Chain A
Amino acid sequence: MSAAPTERAAQWVYTGLWRILAGWFRVPRQPPTLPAAASESVEAFGPAPEFLRYLKFLFWLLMLPMDIPVLAIWVVMLVVVPIVGLVLSPLFIFLAIAPDIVAYVAIHLRYDTTWYVLSPRSLRIRRGIWVIHETTITFENIQNVEVVQGPLQRYFGIASVHVQTAGGGGGGRRGEGPAMGAHHGLIEGVKDAPRIRDLIMSRVGLSLHAGLGDEAHPDHDGHPPAAHPPAWTPEHLAVLRQINTLCAQLAARA
């Protein structure tokens, strides 16, 4: 319980921040929903806790090269011209610490505002704080699924699932966060990426269409189908059985 006071303070600040975000900036606290039939289970989940640690690790990797020179300059100044160093110390400490705090809070917010919702037939991804972006894709429309895992991600045991629909287009649109481009869904930092991939791919594999809005099934517009799918009715089967027995008789006699 040694870290309790700082932890509690951080917790307090963070919940306060959330209250402001939810109250003033209308950031929803609940995960998004997906319309589904009553029999279907819809699961909403965020990235794995390892994703948070991964982001923090990345952050330290980037921050240390920036913080160390700043602090080194400050120490050198303190040694060479102590008065200037002392006077400028608040500035240096601010320079060293402020970006860290901001980035830390941003990482936590990113982690807490990312939601993935999977139903048996579609997925919905929510991301963002200032601009909240929700993408909905049906599995039927998915063209390919990629699972990406770097060495660092492997260490943390997480991976990202990229989901693409038809239609190209470059990267992200209008700077809306990482990989929120069109025709693209990113399920980032999950532990069970293979399960999600299998779930999606099994659905994609079941589909008889190219995933391009092909008109196919009569149920959708209510018209009866123009041509029946070739199928043996019980009557066909009965006649076939009769033919079979006749053939057997003929064969037995010849």
Chain B
Amino acid sequence: MGERVNRRRHRYRWREIGASAGFLLPALAVFGVFTFYPLVRSVWLSFHANDLLGRPVRFVGLDQYTKFFEEPELRRVLLTTALFAILTVLPTLLIGLFLALVLQTRVRGIGVFRTVMATPFAFSAASAAVVFDAFYSPSVGVFNGILHNLGIPQVDWLTSPSVALPSLALVIIWRDIGYAMLVCSAGLQSIPDQLFEAARIDGAGYLTLLRKIILPLLTPTMFFLLVVGTIGSLQTFGEINILTGGGPDGATTTLVYNLYQSAFAFGVSDYGLASAQAVILLFLVMGVTAVQFTVLQRKVFYS
């Protein structure tokens, strides 16, 4: 009898394996053709020099990568990418946290305020870029209008090499604060009310509450936002494409934008160099994600 049960279980398992394979196949096909194969091909292309049409002609090993140490323009691209990440991620995080805290105010209709403050999340890269381009207009823009009314000299928001990157960052920050606020609010809601009550009974002021309870308990949430924000900023494309085109003078050319220009702009298809940048981007994103996993695991370990 035991033998019969065993044999039936065995057959059952085979059918399960068959079903698993069948059900995973559609997703695997998509991943295989559009994620894994292109990754391998990107690496392969990055090891080759190519002709003007982008056809790989010669194996060059790591030459495409060493260019990033040798050519100042490419070094600058990496620097701009890092600077852009710093300019966008931290302000987004702080503003999002601030808004979430403010929205804890217990007044009637607070839900309406939360909904309104989540609005930027509805904007795509293109729509936000187009609206902010109007704000940044040197002659008739709202921002220079405000400066004019305050008696402050006008600013070349997108055409001055030192201001363009922060201007671009402002668009990203605005677009992301709704998201950051929603995530922080969710984090705040997971803090048990008893903790606040207990602190209040102990006579703790709001700042103590913030420092001793809210911020420590919100660390995982903020860390998550930091990781997601960094990855998002590394991938920024639409705003740059519409607002600055990487200019003025390359001041807003980040890694992704330079990748685009190497591969698809100016009538040249330098797929080799562009692929090297694609691989560098992949390693950057994987690095950030790996840091997330490590830290999360440590957190799990201690708790």
Binding between chains A and B:
no
